[in-house]
Structure formats: structure tokens, C-alpha cells
Amino acid sequence: MTATPLKPEQLRLNIHPASLGFADTSELQTTELPWIGQERAQNAARFGLAMDQADYNLFVLGEVGSGRASLLRQLTQAVAAERPVPPDLCYLHNFDTPERPRALRMPAGQGRELRQLMTRFSRALQTEIPQRLGSEDFKSESERIKAAYQAEESKAYVELDAFAESRGFNLFRESGHLVFTLMGDKGSALTESEARALSKERRAEIDKAEAELRQEIARFLDKTRPMERVMNEALAALRRQVVKPWLDHEMQDIRVSLKKQIKDSVKLGSYLDQVQHDVLEHIELFIAQDSDDEVRQEALTQMLLGYRVNLVVDNAGRTGAPVIVEDNPVFHILFGRIEYQAEEDVMLTDFSRVRAGSLIRAHGGFLLLHLRDLLTEALVWEKLRRFLRSGRVQIEEPDSSHMPMAAVSLLPEAVDVEVKIVLIGSVEEYYALQEGDPEFSRHFRVKVDFAESFPASDDTRAASALYVAHTCRKLGLPHFSAAAVARLLEDSHREVDDQARQSAIFARTEALVVESAALCRTRGAALVEALDVDAALSARRQRHDYPEQRLRESIAEGERLISLQGARVGQINGLTQIDLGDWRFGLPVRVTARSHAGTRGLLNIEREVEMSGPIHDKGVLILHSYLTALFAHLTPLALNASIVFEQEYHGVEGDSASCAELFALLSSLSGVPLRQGIAVTGALNQHGEVLPVGGVNEKIEGWFRVCDAAGLDGTQGVLLPQRNLRHLMLDRAVVDAVAQGRFHIHTASHVAEGLALLSGMAPGITGDAAGPYPADSLLGRCEQTLKAYREACRQAVAETKTEWNS
């Protein structure tokens, strides 16, 4: 068994421009972009948007840049265009309890019409009522009513005046009040000095007469007040009789104008009846007065304000259901708010200051939200959960206690809202929410799962080319040649490290299109070529690879000890990947092993100092299990061995170095040196099979650049798992070096193949059988060493017993 050297054509996928079927993207038709590689997500989204049942809201999960938000917005807009236009929503004055405004839904456009009708009605009230109450017929009839009252009242007053005169008092009216004075003998009113000069008996007679007069005045008022009330009621009835026919006509015109059938027709009819009743009850406010007219005008203004219509949702002119993308779902924007106005140290408000939020405005349609935005405010998420349970939205202020002044409270009527929520989040957020909120799955029954990658085919490549054409047209960029598109497609494969799959993160592709087009314009060309894409990728590398460059320099300067030639015992170069979020790169790390006689077994130094993660620890334990299986005929092993990653100060995680650790340990046991020019990556299972690892392209390129900087001598290369062959999308510089024989890439499916390549001798492994091994094989030498360790341990135990016996 030997490792297999790879040919240059195996190291990357090359897409031939001619296979794409166009010369440049300007030839591609301007059609709607498909959901490239997201058929599963598209089917789920269409199913969820078509479901009219409650709780079939959508949760869209996927990585940022996968098109999850833009594609869902396009689809919801297409679906919404086929749906009926939802009704308007108005808030009206509640005449019974003004602090509880009434909600009214009306067919689209009729909310605006009702507002206009009520505005015209309020204006008409101020002209028509005074005009009708100023007519000659009304004046003559009201004068008749007043004259009848005055005749009766005058008759009673004459009797009262005679009664006062008979008792020596003069009675007269002053500012609407009855006033009387005591008369003297000469027929004139007594002065204060004359009244004091009267005798005691006379003053007693006067007091008695005054008491009798006061009683008579009280009887007069008791008699005339009902007469005045009858007069006022008659006048009010007259005013209503004059105004009511016109009011009936106006109300009927409003009802006829709103002739469409509406769900809240009874509520609207009741409201109009209350408006009419309120007008008839306050007709006197329309009559100009000589005194206190400012007070009357203010009262009239306040009354007319109650006839306004607060149109909080206006769907007039809409052609389908609403689609609202709420990027700032704070409490008052999402659920609505109540505005206040400061007046004399009090915060005042009324029904006209109620404002609808995105949730109410999306009634009958769709509301798109990002989960992360919702979770920034716990109060927002809690209220949304309550809405999902009840289907009703109550507009309220979240905490009026924090207002700087006392506030007049308002509690608008809650409204039913039928809306399909499309919640967008990451995979981690979806499962965390599912675990933390038991009700979540009940309300979001449609999972729209966007893939990070998808199988490549002629159809997906054609769709990707169409995406490039669409991007160029949308952003006004020069079009791409077929060779440039092929280069973009190859980069998509490289992004997911797979020759058979493309990346679904099209945000990266769009950025690369923009950057390539900018470099094309810089060189004055009209068409983006492959060289522009390569230049954009190179420029991106230069913007991000400074940490990689510094680590490579530390190797070149000798700070990090890496051997590139020769052979060493118990030493090998492993490959690691470093992911900084915005940049990934590979780097070699020296792995060394030492062994001697003992009983402690295999020691992982990183684990001992708590610098290794659980996956790496698992890999070392698997290594120990396989080592034990190799030498099962010698168990228990009399072995002390240690493995360490040299100059690694930030911790170790992952099992991709377990093969390298095994090779270093077997080299230490056998004394056979390993080639330092061949770096190793690969995981190990308990049967010695080499398992695939991640980041294989970055690891190979990282080792290649280190070797290239020192000078390739034709002996350097990489050993990787055979199962990683499909993941190779290597840089062209690496492919060219392999083609020239200056660099080599080998694959192995079993550790025996790697041992043969690195040591240059037969490993001695035959299937799963454990020894004894041929003496001239690598494992045969390990076996001899382990036997020597066992003998050394046996002698040490014997010497210890001898010492104790003596």
C-alpha cells in the first residue's frame, strides 16, 4: 500500500467558458431570477405563504448573504399582488367613554372618503345651522313661544309687585335678579340713616314684612321656573325640529356615499347616530351670543373635533395585500403609539393622536422581521408572543410612568389583525428559540431552510450566469465575458471547498462582481475578463492576509521552527487552519513525539495544560486506541510517550492532526526518520482509516507558500486523506508547481500508505491483524522497542523487590 500522487487536473475544477453557452452576460435574457439551488426553501416558502390558517407563520433560517431576505421579499410581493386589498382602519371618538376610542374597519378607500365626508359635514354644521336658526319662520315661532312665556310670567310678576307694594317695598329687576327696597312715607327708598332712626317696633314690623315678601318671591320663582323650563324645552324642540330634517339628509348622504358592504356597518351606523344626537343636544353652541361668545366658540370647536376621523391605515390606491419589511421593530413602530401634547404641566391626548404600527398596517398581508432585531428589546418579543396567541393588537404606551409630566390615559379599542409573519434568523437562533420558547414551534410551523451550498449542474451554472447579468444591469456595471463568469463559478466552488457543489452565499459573488467590474473600468475595458476577476481576488487577499503574512515571515525568519528538508525521528509537520472570520488560511505546525519505558501510556501535553479542545482530545484517545490495537499481542504496553504541538500558544482544537501525531509517535518508537518536506493532514479512526478534514485547500496552500518562499526543491508536498479529493480547489500557482514537478500532493486512505511515503520503508501493517510484524518493517522496529521497554520495566520491578527484601 502506497500513497497516491495526484495529477494537476485532479487539484481543482476547471470550468470551460465554451460550456456556458454565451459569449458574455449581455446576451442573457432579462428574466426573473430563480432561487438558485434553493428549491427546498422555495417550496417551503410557497407552501407557507399559501396557507390561510392561523399559526402557519414562516421562519426563514440561513446564513447572511444567502438571499434569504431578498428572495422572501420578492416572493411575498408576488403572492401579495394576487390577494385582495385589505380594509382601511379608522379610530373614532367614543361619545360614551372618550378615553376608549372606537376602531372601525372599512373597505379600502372608504376610510379616506369617510374622513372627507365628516370634514365637509363639520363645515356645513357651522353654516347651515346658524342659517336655519336665523330664518324668519324660526324667529317668529320662537318669539311666539317667548311671548307666551312672558305673558304668564308678567301676570305672576304683577301679583308679586302688588304684594311687595302692599308691604312697603319697591320691587324691580336687575341683571336677571329680583331686588326690593324699603319705601319711606314720602314714597322714596329709605336711606341707611333713616332706617336706623326707626323705632324698634317699626323695624320688627319691617322684618316681618320682608320675610313674607321673600316667601312670596320664592313662590313666584317656583311658579315661573317650570314655565321657563317649558319655554326652553319648546325652543330646543323648535331648534331640533328645524335642524333635524337637514341632519337626517346629511347623515343619509354619508351612508349612501359609503354604499359598499363593510364588516363594521353596524358600528358605523351607531357612530353616525351618536354624531347626529350630539349635534341636536348642543345646537345652542351654533347660536351667536352677545356675552361669553369666546367660551361658546371654544366649546363648539372642541365638539367639532370629536367628529374627525383618524385614518390610521389608508389602503386607497393599493392593488394587492401589503408587504412590510420592518428593519427597526422597536415597540412603538411595530405595535403603534399614542402621541401626547404638553399643556399646563399635563400631557394631553385624544383619539386623533392614535398611530398604527407595522403590525396593524400589515393586516391582510405579510410582515418581514429579523429575529435579532426583535430580541434586542424583551418587551417587544413578549408583546409579539401575546399577539401570536390572541391575534389582537392593543395600541398602548409601554410605560407611561416614565413620562416627565402627568398624562391623560387613553386605551384605544384592540383590533383583530390577520397577518403572516416571516421571521428571518440564523440556524443557531432558530434552534435556540425552539428550545427556549415552547410556544414558538406552534406559531411558526413553516420552516424555510436556506442551504449554504448546493450540487452544481448545468442548470445552476446557467442560473448563476443569469445572476451575474442581473447584477450588472441592476448596478450599471460592465458585463462579464464567459471566461470571467467561469472564474466566478470556480470561486463559488472554492468557497465551499467542493468540486461538486457551489456556494449559496451569493452576497460574496455580488461583491466579487462589483470589485471585478471596478478593476475592469480602471484598465479602460468595456467587458470584464477573467484577469479582472483574478485581480479582484488578489486584491481581496492583500486586504485581508496580513496575519497570514506575518506568521509566514516568522517561519522564514526562524522564529517558528519548521523543517522543510531532510528527515527527523519523532518529528513531522502537521497542517492547521486558522479562521479569523474575514479570512481563512493554513499554517504548518511542528508535531513531535518522545517515548521511553514506563507505564503511564500516551500523554497529550496540550490536554495536560488545558490547551486542547474536546475534539482534539477525542482524536488523541482514538490514536491511543489504534496504537493499542496495533500491538495487542504485547499488551499491556510498557510505554511512556508524549506528543506536543511545538510553539502553539493559543490552544489546539480538531482532530485533523491525529494522523500526524500517530506518525510522529511511531517514528519515535521505531527510530525511523520521517520526511520533513511532506506536511500531513488527516483524521484517524480506530481501524487506521484516514478520514477527511476541513480547510484542506487553505492547509495545502499555506504549506506551499512557506515552501515556495524558502525555495521549492522538488521534495516538498502534502499528504492528505483520499476522501478529501473532491474538496480540492487549489490556487493555480499550486497546480502549476505540481505540473512542473516542483511540488507534490499525495492521498492516502489508510495510515499504512502514509507511513510508507514518509518513512520510505514498508510499514508492516496487514489488515487489522496485530503483529508480530516483520523485523525489517517500521512496525517491526516499534515492536522490538516495545519489547525492550517491557524488559526494562520488568528488570526495574525485580530490582525494586530485591531492595525491599534486603
**pLDDT, tens only, 725-757:** 999 999 999 999 999 999 999 999 999 999 999
Which strand (E) or helix (H) includes residue 524?
none
**pLDDT, tens only, 49-74:** 999 998 999 999 998 888 899 999 99
Q: What is the pLDDT of residue 406?
A: 46
Mean pLDDT of all residues in 492-501: 94
pLDDT at 40 over 90: yes
Q: State phi, psi for 552 to the nearest 5 degrees.
A: -65, -40
User: The C-alpha cell of 33 is what?
Assistant: 431570477
Peptide bond just before 107 cis, omega within 30 deg: no
Determine the Cα–Cα distance for residues 695 and 672; give it in Å rounded to an integer: 30
Between helices 751-759 and 658-670, what is the axis angle to 10°?
50
CB atoms within 10 A of CB 319: 9
Q: What is the pLDDT of residue 261?
A: 62
Mean pLDDT of all residues in 25-30: 86
SS3 category, 136: helix
pLDDT at 653 over 60: no
Determine the Cα–Cα distance for residues 95 and 624; give it in Å rounded to an integer: 84
Q: Which of 450, 554, 467, 469 is nearest to 26 (CA)?
A: 469
H helix intervals, 167-288: 192-197, 200-257, 265-281
Determine the Cα–Cα distance for residues 346 and 324; give it in Å rounded to an integer: 35
Of 295 and 467, the one with more pLDDT: 467
Mean pLDDT of all residues in 528-544: 94
CA quadruple 71, 72, 77, 83: dihedral sign:
positive
Determine the Cα–Cα distance for residues 284 and 296; give it in Å rounded to an integer: 9
Q: Are 433 and 385 in contact (CB under 8 A)?
A: no
Mean pLDDT of all residues in 374-382: 89
SS3 category, 48: helix
- The torsion angle over the Cα atoms of residues 783, 787, 790 and 796, rounded to 10 degrees, is -140
SS3 string of 464-514?
Answer: HHHHHHHHHHHHCCCCEEHHHHHHHHHHHHHHCCCCCEEECCHHHHHHHHH
**pLDDT, tens only, 477-487:** 999 999 999 99
Q: What is the pLDDT of residue 380?
A: 92
DSSP track, 602-621 = EEEHHHHTT-B-HHHHHHHH
Rank 315-324, 429-438, 582-591 by mean pLDDT and report only the highest: 315-324
Q: What share of the chain is helix, strand, coil (3-state, %, to 5)?
A: 50, 15, 30
**pLDDT, tens only, 585-627:** 888 988 888 888 766 666 554 455 455 556 656 766 777 778 8
DSSP track, 195-225 = HHHS-HHHHHHHHHHHHHHHHHHHHHHHHHH
Q: What is the pLDDT of residue 402?
A: 47
Q: Which of 642, 666, 645, 654 is nearest to 691 (CA)?
A: 654
pTM, to two decimals: 0.81
**pLDDT, tens only, 229-288:** 767 677 777 777 888 888 988 889 888 888 766 677 888 989 999 999 999 888 888 887
User: The C-alpha cell of 157 is what?
Assistant: 310678576
Mean pLDDT of all residues in 104-108: 92
Confidence of residue 33 (pLDDT cuts 50, 70, 90): confident
Of 530 and 172, the one with more pLDDT: 530
Instruction: Share the mean pLDDT of the chain.
Output: 85
Q: What is the pLDDT of residue 153?
A: 67
Confidence of residue 417 (pLDDT cuts 50, 70, 90): very high
pLDDT at 806 over 60: no
Q: Are 620 and 607 in contact (CB under 8 A)?
A: yes
Of all residues in the chain, the percent with pLDDT exceeding 90 is 47
Mean pLDDT of all residues in 381-401: 85
Which strand (E) or helix (H) includes residue 549?
helix 546-556
Determine the Cα–Cα distance for residues 514 and 484; give it in Å rounded to an integer: 13
Q: What is the pLDDT of residue 782?
A: 87
Determine the Cα–Cα distance for residues 63 and 425; give it in Å rounded to an integer: 8
Angle at 578 between CA 576 and CA 582, to 5 degrees: 155
Which strand (E) or helix (H) includes residue 327?
none
pLDDT at 190 over 70: no
Mean pLDDT of all residues in 162-185: 69
